[in-house]
Amino acid sequence: TLMNCQIILIKNNFKLLKPITWLSWIIRKVTKSNWNHCAILYKNKVADMSTSYKYRNYDIWLSENNDREFIISKEVDSIFFKSDLEKILENKDGDLEGYEYTKLLNHLTKIKLNKVYIKEIENRMVCSEFVEYIINGTLTNWETPQSLYEKYFR
Of the pLDDT bands very low, low, confident and very high (cuts 50, 70, 90), residue 118 is confident
- What are phi and psi for residue 22, nearest 5 degrees? -65, -40
Residues 43-75 have pLDDT tens digits of 999 999 887 889 999 999 999 988 899 999 999
Q: What is the per-residue pLDDT across 22-37, written as a single tens digit (0 to 9) for each?
A: 889 988 988 889 999 9
Across the range 13-27, mean pLDDT stands at: 87
Task: Find how far residue 41's CA is from the centre of its chain.
Answer: 11
Q: How confident is the model at residue 111 (pLDDT cuts 50, 70, 90)?
A: low
The residue among 96 and 142 whose pLDDT is bigger is 96
pLDDT of 142 over the 80 cut: no
Cα Rg of the chain, angstroms: 15
Give the list of residues 6+ apart from residue 149 with CB closer than 8 angstroms, or none: 9, 33, 34, 35
Through-space distance between the first and last CA atoms of the chain, rounded to whole angstroms: 25
* Mean pLDDT score across all residues of the chain: 86
Closest by alpha carbon to 103, among 77, 124, 86, 79? 124
